Structure formats: structure tokens, C-alpha cells
Structure 1
Amino acid sequence: MEIILMVVLLAITLAFGWAATKLGMAKVVGQLIAGVVVGPALLHWVEPSHLMHIVSEFGVLLLMVNAGLETDARQLRDNFKAANFTALMGVIAPLVVFPVIALVFGYEWQIALFWGVVFAATSISITISVLGEQGKLGTQMGAVILGAAVLDDIMALLLVTAYSLFIGGSGLGLNTIMPIIAFAFGVLLRQSSRSDKILHASEMFGQWTVFPIFFGSIGLNVVFHDLSKTWIAMVVLTVFAVATKYYGAGIGARMAGLDKHTGNAIGAGMVSRGEMALVIAQIGATGGILSGKVFGEIVVVIIASTLIAPLMMRPLIKKVQ
């Protein structure tokens, strides 16, 4: 039965992804919406399952490998300063602002601090998808975003480990760092003379199978009825999820000497939280830091930022020379 439901999710996410591109949106936006529509939030056709989780995890790793295959290591080194400034400012802004906003809405200080840790992360996979659609992965902007996103996630993983040591939780495990390991493997694999063929085969397989399931499965985590009394907080926190990364990372890029349009596009490219933020939130949930209700609230804001980011990126990328 799990296989049948996963095939249903795959078919619907592919259809929604196609529709999104016809409407001028990023494919991933349609696939995320598909998960919300068919999942517990609306139609209840598909529920998250263990098999779906395994396939989604594989999709994340394949996305990271593909990102590494498309990433010029020399260009990453050449743009390390910009990536470092971008990542640092992109982590500091949510880490400082989110706990304050969460405290205003009545969360306990431990939970408020964890909001900041979760939203310090950046989703590489969502950004990769949009950059790939626009043919910008091999550019300076693409190198800075990818480098900054990797640094962001490393810092976020260190933060959640430190948090777990002081407050409690499961800490840093192999599943948490696997996406970064997969990215590094892809960078190494790029040195192969057959890297272009490997990338083409991997992209074709992923785009028609595990990638839509991964993006759709994020949408399956939304349940609206538990959030009816906290929707104002969700809207405000979503605004700050977007603003802290957009302005924080954008300012960091400008500090490194990049022009305004490139800085704005990089800021937008850092807005999406996606899989890494979900991993960190899951650490909080399984470690007893977050209740089911707070976990659901965090997931909603993660998904909202993930939906908004591609919509911001597309017009801003077009302004970059």
C-alpha cells in the first residue's frame, strides 16, 4: 500500500510541477503545493510513511551529489570570501532576531532559542533547483550561494549540537551531515572524465522519481487544524524567516564587494530552509525539545519560506548581469 501511495504522490507532484512551470513559477513550488493538497492538510489522500521518508532522504542526497557535480571547486575557492560573509550574516540575523520574536509570542526561552537555530539553516536543494532551471549554477552568484549554503548548514549543525549539549536532544548524527558529505562527493566526482554523463543520467532519474517525492513529502508535513489559533504568529515568523536571510545574507554579500543586484539575488537564494531546517526541527522533536504542536508550527514556516524563495529568486536572478 505504501508503494501505491508513493506512486500517487509522484504522479501528482509531477503534474503540479509541470503546471507551475506553465504559470511561470519554479517547478519545486508546484511540487511542494502538491504535497500540501494531497496530504493531511487538505485531501488526506497520502500520509507520510517510512518508505516515503527513505526515498525522500535518497532524493536529498542525490540532489547534493548533483550540486557537487555542477559546482566548480576552483570557483568556490575564488568566491570563498563572499560565501563566508554571506553565510555568517545569514546565520547571525535569524539567530538573533527569531528568539526575540518567538519570546514576544509567548514561547519559552528554550523553544524561542531553538527557533533561531532552525532558521539559521539554508536549503541548498531548493536553491539548486531554481539556479539549475535558470542556468546559473556555474556562475559567480551560483558559487557564492552554494558555498554560503554549505557553510550555513555546517554552522547550523554545530549550533544544534551545542544546543543539545546544554538543553538536551540527540545532537549531531550521520543522517544530519550526510547531505554535506554527498555534496563534497559530487565535487570530487566532477573531476572524472565521465562527469557530464553521470550528471545527465542522475538528473534524468532524479527529476522523474525521487526529487518530486522529496519536495512533495515536505508538503505532507503540514496539518492546518492544529495551527488555527497561532496563524498570526505563523505569518509574522514567516515574514522574519524571509527578511532575516534576505537582508542578512544580502548585506553579507555586499560587504564582500558584490554589486547590489547580485547581493539581492544571493539574499533571495538563501531564504529557503527546506530539508536541512526540517532535519534540525526533527532533532528537536525526537529529542523532546519540541512538542508536536511547536514542531508543526516550525514546519509551516519552513514550507512557507520554501514556497516564497523561488518566487523571489526568479525575477532577482534576471537582473544579475
Structure 2
Amino acid sequence: MEYLLIMFLVIVTIFLGKVGTWFGFSEVVGQLFSGIILGSSIFNIVQSSNLIHLIAEIGIFLLMLNSGLESDLKEMKRYIKASSLIAVMGVLLPLITFPIAFLLLGYNIQTSIFAGVVFSATSISITLAVLSEQKKLATAIGAIILSAAVIDDIIALFAVTLFSVLVGGGALGINSILPLLAFALGILLRKYNFSDKIGVISTKMGNSFFYPVFFGSIGLEIVIQGLGDKITAIIIFSILAIVTKFVGSLWGAKISGLDTRVSSAVGAGMISRGEMALVIIQIGISSHIIDDYTSAEFIVAVIVSTIVAPIIMKPLFKKI
């Protein structure tokens, strides 16, 4: 019976992902809603289980492996100065601002610091989609943004790995290091001729089964019943998620010598959190750094940033 429910989750997740794209949203947004709808928040048809968690972990591995395979180190080196400044500033501002905001709102220090880590990440896939749509993928600005996003995510992955290890009392769990290892493996494999085949196979496996289970499983963890009294906090988190990344990345771009228009486009291109933030949230849940209620607040803010990012990006990209 569990296998049938998992397949049902996959089908609904893929379908809602497509529905999301029909309305101009990221596919990830629609996929997250499948878990919310099918889980305990609404219909309670599918419950989280050890098998779902295992499949989700494989999904994380494939997702990060593909991110590594798509990371062109040579291209990153060309714009390493600008990309590094953008990435560092784009990480630092959320990393500083979110813990302060969370502490002021009454969260404990562990959750507050973890919030900074979650919202320091950037979604490469969302940025890729908009850059491709605007025919900016093969341009210098495209290379700078993607390089910055990759560096940004490497920093975030290191941060969450270190944080989960420290919180776990020094125990280096597979949940903590799996994304980092998969990402590194993808980068290492990229230089070999067979890497394209690996990318094609892993992408097909991910898109057809493992990714839907991963994103759906995150939705299953969300408990919306307890979010009513947290609406003010969620609005604040969502605004901070957008503003800190935009401003931090814009500052980094300006410091690196880019003009205001290009810097603004770069800032917009770094806003979306998407799948990387969700991977980090999942690590937080698995490592017992955050509970289901807190993860739900994070996920809502991630969804908002994922929806808003392309809306801001498109007009700014048209100007450059």
C-alpha cells in the first residue's frame, strides 16, 4: 500500500509542478503544494515514512550531483572576482540579518542562526530558467550570476554542514554531508567525457521519481494549522528573504565594478531560494535543528521568494 501511495504522491507532485509553470510560477512551488495537500495539513492521504525519507535523500543526492555537473569551473574562474564578491555579500547580509530578526521575534539562538544559513542560499534552477528565457544565459552577466549562485551555494552547504555537526555534538551524519559530497562529486565528474551521460540519466531519474518525492516530502512535513498566529513573522521573513539577498548581491556587484543596472539585475537574479534552501531545511529537520512548525514558516518564505524572484528579474534583465 505504501508503494502505491508514494506513486500517487509522485503523480500528483509532477502534475502540480506543471500546473505551477502554467501560471508562470516555478515548478518547485507547485511540487511543494502536493505534499501540503496530500499530507496531514489537508487530506491526510500520504504520511511521511522512513521509505519516503530514504527516497528523498536519494533525490537530494541527484539534485546536488546535477548541480555540480552543471557548474562550469572554467567559466567561474573568468569572473571569479565579481562572482565571489556577489556571493559573499549575498550570503553575509542574510546570515547576519536573519538571526537578529529571529532572536527579536523570540526564537532560540539555534533556530535563529539556522535561519541565516537557510536564507543565505540561492536557487540555481530558477535563475537558470529566467536567464535562458531572457537569452542572457550565454552572456557575461549570465556567467557572473550563475558563478555567484554556485559559490553562494557552496558557502551555504559548508555552513549547514558545519552547523549541523556542531549542533549534533560533533557527529558527522550522512544527512549533513550528503549534499556537499554529491555537489563535489558532480564537479569532479564534469571533466570526464561520460559526465553528460551521467547528467542525462540522473536528471531523468530525478525528474521522473526522486525529485517529486523529495519536494513532496517537504510539503508533507508542513503543518499549516499552526501557522495562523505566525503570519506576521512569515511576512517579515519573506520580505527579509527578498531584500537581504537583493541588497547584499547588489552591493557585491557594485563593489566589483559593475554599473547600477547590471548590479540590480544581479541582485534580482540571486533572490530565489528554491531547491537549495529546501535541501538545507531538510537537513535541519533530519538533524533535529528545527521542528515541523518552524520548517513550515521557512518553507512559506522560500515559496514567496521563489514566486517573487522571476517577477523582479524579468524587467531588470530586459534593461541590460
Which residue number in structure 1 is paired with residue 231 of structure 2? Answer: 231
1:238 touches 1:301 (CA, 8 Å); kept in 2?
Answer: yes
Which residue number in structure 1 is paired with residue 20 of structure 2? Answer: 20
1:28 touches 1:126 (CA, 8 Å); kept in 2?
Answer: no
Which residue number in structure 1 is paired with residue 121 of structure 2? Answer: 121
1:160 touches 1:172 (CA, 8 Å); kept in 2?
Answer: no
Per-residue CA deviations over 1:177-232 (Å, capped at 9, x if unaligned) read 33233233333333333444443343333322222332333322221111221111
2:38 touches 2:45 (CA, 8 Å); kept in 1?
Answer: yes
The DSSP-based 3-state class of the residue aligned with 1:193 is: coil
Percent identical among aligned pairs is 46
Which residue number in structure 2 is paired with residue 258 of structure 1? Answer: 258
Which residue number in structure 2 is paired with residue 56 of structure 1? Answer: 56
Per-residue CA deviations over 1:150-170 (Å, capped at 9, x if unaligned) read 433443355456656877656
Cα gap change, 1:3 to 1:65, in 2 (>3 Å): same
Shift of 1:306: 3.7
Paired residues for 1:1-321 under 5 Å:
1-124=1-124, 126-127=126-127, 139-160=139-160, 173-281=173-281, 284=284, 289-320=289-320
Aligned-residue Cα RMSD (Å) equals: 3.3
Cα gap change, 1:113 to 1:28, in 2 (>3 Å): closer
AA aligned opposite 1:183: F
Structure 2 distance, partners of 1:171, 1:318, is: 48
Which sits farther off after the overlay, 277-286 or 172-181?
277-286
2:60 touches 2:279 (CA, 8 Å); kept in 1?
Answer: no
Per-residue CA deviations over 1:5-52 (Å, capped at 9, x if unaligned) read 221121112222222333333322322233333333323232222222
- TM-score for the superposition, normalised by structure 2: 0.82
- TM-score for the superposition, normalised by structure 1: 0.82
Structure 2 distance, partners of 1:206, 1:285, is: 22
Count of aligned residue pairs for this structure pair: 320
Shift of 1:71: 3.1
Shift of 1:88: 1.0
Structure 2 distance, partners of 1:128, 1:57, is: 24
2:175 touches 2:287 (CA, 8 Å); kept in 1?
Answer: no
Structure 2 distance, partners of 1:97, 1:57, is: 30
Instruction: Return 5+ residue gaps in structure 1 as ranges.
Output: none
Instruction: Return 5+ residue gaps in structure 2 as ranges.
Output: none
Cα gap change, 1:176 to 1:102, in 2 (>3 Å): same
Shift of 1:239: 0.9
Shift of 1:248: 1.0
Which sits farther off after the overlay, 281-290 or 179-188?
281-290
